[in-house]
Amino acid sequence: MKSLRDLLAEARQVIPEEGPADVQRRLRSGSPVVVIDVRDPDEYRDGHIEDAPNISRGFLEFRVASAVTDPSTPVVLYCQTGLRSMLAARALKELGYQNVINLQGGYQKWVQSGLPVVRDAPMTTDQIQRYSRHFLLAQVGEKGQRKLLRSKVLLIGAGGLGSPTALYLAAAGVGTLGLMDGDVVDLTNLQRQVLHTTADVGKPKVESGTRTLKALNPDVNIIPLPMRITVDNVMDVIKDYDLVIDGSDNFETRYLVNDACYLAGKTNVHGSIFQFEGMATVFAPNQGPCYRCLYPSPPPPGLVPS
Amino acid sequence: MQATEAVKVLLGIGESLIGRLLTYDALGMRFREVKLRRDPKCPLCGGAPSITDLSIHKEGSAACEITPGAARTEGALV
């Protein structure tokens, strides 16, 4: 089996590299050149070379034609440190692009060389006002707010625990909230499940939840997932999120969420409540215990109320 | 509480509840904190895990049945 080092060495034999200053000269010279950022979109939003379109490595072969119309045009690829883009460059070369160059040292070296970069579009006036109290907090600030706006959190359960959590996260400007719940609103829910109103009785919880959260903060992209989490959908659902909030009301789901989050490397913010007592903890894979470290297997059905 | 923890984890600030269980008793209005340790024999994240995929969650799997070890909480709590 080939090691990563072997792959990179092979790629270097066919792909020339240029340092930031040389690439900048190309850009300034006015001769045709296309620079492509092959990093993930969140890395790109943090800052990139001006005029470089973002085509993530995974989509490069599919979308490169939209950026490079003539296969003889020099194409410069870059990633964060110059490794991913080296492999990407080789793939482009194999596709038939004749003049593919790797930016040696990647974006990191570009920044270190003091060359210009552009960052996310400035926040709107409304956003600046809305999040102004966050800007006053040294640990959050504008940078933290941008990070929140780029973050994706999955809420499992839009009930007693999910309701307040979803409201606070939407208010704080967490950019994407997945709201997963297969239930409809019942009158008995309303004394604690504050996402829903009397008029919502009988409607799916994710529908009323989406409306409430959108009304609170239109900045937030709410993804309604009107279904129960199951062994068949859990991995596919959680893969899109940075963090999972377990607000479920039964042991079966808690074990499933715990196991899936551990296997997928996702942090799971766990909460549970029974009558007047509640508990909360955070399960971060390999940084601390998981739910099974506390309770290796589920309790017998009927022994503990869910 | 879960929202605050989520924001802290997302921003990488403060001290999260990783390795700590916070319990809340509303009637007594008391918070209690319990340190949690990783279980080296944990079937999921231990040194020799028996759970390496989600197959135990499939219907009819033995995992949904009960094993006598369910009440190991006390041992895990420090």
Contacts of B42 in chain A (CB under 8 A): 289-290, 292-293, 296
pLDDT score, position B60: 64
Say yes or no: A299 contacts chain B, CB-CB below 8 A.
Answer: yes
Residue B75, domain member (yes or no): no
* Burial class, A106, CB count within 10 angstroms (exposed 0-12 / middle 13-18 / buried 19+): buried
Low-confidence ranges of chain B (pLDDT < 50): 62-78
Question: pLDDT 10s per residue in chain A (306 long)?
Answer: 889 999 999 999 999 999 999 999 999 887 899 999 999 988 988 899 977 889 999 999 999 998 898 999 999 999 999 999 999 999 999 999 999 999 999 999 999 999 988 776 678 999 999 999 999 999 998 878 988 998 999 999 999 999 999 999 999 999 999 999 999 999 999 999 999 999 999 999 999 999 999 999 999 999 999 999 999 999 999 999 999 999 999 999 999 999 999 999 999 999 999 999 999 999 999 999 999 999 998 887 777 665
Residue B42, domain member (yes or no): yes
Alpha carbon of A300: minimum distance to chain B alpha carbons (Å):
5
- Provide CB contacts within 8 A for A88, sequence distance 6+: A38, A57, A60, A77, A79
Residue B69, domain member (yes or no): no
- List, in order of start, the domains of chain A with CATH numbers: 4-112 (3.40.250.10), 151-294 (3.40.50.720)
- Inter-helix orientation angle A84-95/A4-14, to 10°: 50
Q: Residue B32, SS3?
A: strand
Give chain B's domain count. 1
Going across the sheet that includes A243-246, the strands are A221-225, A176-180, A152-156, A243-246, A267-274, A277-283, B20-25, B30-35
DSSP A62-95: HHHHHH-SSTTS-EEEE-SSSSHHHHHHHHHHHH
* Cα distance between residue A180 and residue A227, in whole Å: 6
Domain that holds residue B11: 2-64
- Could you give the maximum distance between any two Cα atoms of chain B, in Å? 43
Residue B71, domain member (yes or no): no
**Hey, which residues 14-73 in chain B have their CB within 8 Å of chain A?**
14, 16-27, 36-39, 42-46, 51-54, 56-58, 63-64, 66-67, 69-70, 72-73
pLDDT score, position A143: 77
User: Which of B11, B19, B27 has its CB closest to that of A276?
Assistant: B27
Contacts of A272 in chain B (CB under 8 A): none
pLDDT score, position B71: 38
Identity at B47, one-letter amino acid code: G
